[in-house]
């Protein structure tokens, strides 16, 4: 029986999990980073806007890493071995923001301000570490100061990208003065997203001959240019809709991430480690993949169903005090 399709299925599932994590946990990481620019009452409202969702959002990260570990064990060793320190920093940031999120509700006075600051610090650390990992991954973990500097800039750009998601989420979920602040934050975040997308788009072809040929060989280059054009259009739509619609800015931000992720996936395919390991070289034995696929078929509908249920249950504008107990 032909089993060559199994690595493709798990690559698609892993990609879906990572994209879902970036979009869903990205906005609550962005809200966490934006708390530094908000007033006390606004901070409480910002936390309330993400309170029912943030735990479930991180489930997608666990799923994505779990699929990498079990379905592509050879790549797991290479990727996490090369990214050991950024991964550790991300986990510290996620743990810090998790503790701060819960304890800030019970704290009073300056203790609450301290936990708010730690929530911001944890969100920023986790976001920057994820951007650093992306910068290292798309350059094939190449050594040298220039490659590390590039990864640092991508890390800062991803922080700005999460700020865009967080700001557009606040536009969707809040009203009044906080919503007006979020509009200004969204404009600032969109410029960082433009920088990040440009850097990744330029660096990937320069790093790999394989990627360069995929994007710039004639005649497919004309068709592929539709992807950056669509990304630019989504950014323009987002900018124009700021202050005119509550839901369009968030939809535009999600569209930018989906398009950028699609371009990155096209650049990397069929490699799971650029120019080193293909999906089939890194994949586990077909018997293990079949067993894992059966488990995924059971678990994924529950995760998707719960996600849809929670977002439907808590839809609408956020009210003050709903997450202070």
CA–CA distance, 72 with 281 (Å, rounded to integer): 9
Count of CB atoms situated within 10 Å of the CB of 317 = 12
Residues forming beta bridges with residue 278, ordered by sequence position: 271
Phi-psi region of 284 (alpha: psi -120 to 50; beta: other; left: phi over 0): beta
Cis omega before residue 188 (within 30°)?
no
Phi-psi region of 229 (alpha: psi -120 to 50; beta: other; left: phi over 0): alpha
pLDDT at 18: 93
Of 273, 286, 217, whose CA–CA distance to 76 is shortest? 273
- Are the CB atoms for 187 and 266 separated by under 8 Å? no
pLDDT at 322: 56
pLDDT at 162: 95
Pick the CATH number of 5-313 from 3.40.50, 1.20.1630, 2.40.170, 2.40.128: 1.20.1630
What would the pLDDT profile of 244-274 be if each residue is shown by its tens digit? Answer: 999 999 999 999 999 999 988 988 888 898 8
The two tokens of residue 244 are 């005119």
pLDDT at 320: 66
Residues of the chain with pLDDT under 50: none
- Are the CB atoms for 126 and 22 separated by under 8 Å? no
What would the pLDDT profile of 15-66 be if each residue is shown by its tens digit? Answer: 999 999 999 999 999 999 999 888 888 888 998 899 888 878 888 988 888 8
pTM: 0.92
Q: What is the dihedral of CA 230, 236, 238, 243, to 10 degrees?
A: -160
- Listed in sequence order, the DSSP H helices in 35-144 are 40-50, 54-57, 59-71, 73-82, 84-106, 110-138
pLDDT at 256: 94
pLDDT at 17: 92
The two tokens of residue 248 are 């369009």
Handedness of CA 72, 77, 82, 83 (dihedral sign): positive
CA–CA distance, 264 with 251 (Å, rounded to integer): 20
In terms of Cβ atoms closer than 10 Å to its own Cβ (0-12, 13-18, 19+), residue 131 is buried
Domain extent listing, the chain? 5-313
């Amino acid at each position: 029986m032909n089993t060559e399709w199994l690595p493709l299925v798990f690559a698609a599932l892993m990609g879906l999990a990572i994209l879902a994590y970036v979009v869903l946990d990205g906005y609550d990481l962005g809200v966490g980073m934006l708390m530094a620019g908000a007033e006390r009452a606004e901070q409480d409202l910002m936390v309330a806007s993400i309170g029912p969702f943030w735990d479930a959002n991180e489930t997608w990260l666990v799923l994505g890493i779990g699929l990498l570990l079990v379905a592509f064990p050879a790549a797991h060793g290479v990727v996490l071995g090369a990214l050991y320190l950024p991964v550790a920093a991300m986990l510290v940031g996620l743990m810090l923001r998790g503790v701060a999120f819960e304890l800030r509700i019970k704290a009073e006075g300056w203790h609450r301000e301290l936990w708010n600051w730690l929530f911001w610090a944890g969100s920023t650390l986790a976001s920057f570490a994820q951007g650093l990992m992306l910068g290292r991954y798309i350059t094939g973990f190449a050594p040298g100061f220039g490659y590390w500097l590039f990864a640092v800039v991508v890390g800062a750009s991803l922080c700005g990208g999460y700020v865009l998601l967080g700001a557009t989420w606040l536009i969707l979920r809040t009203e009044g003065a906080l919503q007006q602040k979020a509009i200004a934050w969204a404009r600032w975040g969109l410029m960082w997203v433009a920088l990040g997308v440009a850097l990744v788009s330029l660096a990937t072809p320069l790093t790999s001959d394989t990627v360069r040929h995929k994007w710039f060989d004639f005649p497919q280059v004309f068709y592929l240019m539709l992807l950056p054009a669509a990304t630019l259009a989504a950014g323009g739509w987002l900018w124009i809709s700021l202050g005119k619609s509550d839901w369009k800015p968030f939809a535009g931000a999600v569209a930018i991430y989906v398009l950028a992720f699609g371009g990155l996936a096209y650049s990397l395919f069929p490699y799971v480690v650029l120019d080193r390991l293909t999906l089939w070289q890194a994949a586990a034995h077909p018997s293990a993949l079949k067993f894992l696929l059966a488990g995924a078929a059971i678990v994924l509908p529950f995760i998707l169903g719960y996600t849809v249920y929670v977002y439907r249950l808590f839809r609408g504008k956020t009210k003050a005090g709903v997450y202070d107990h």
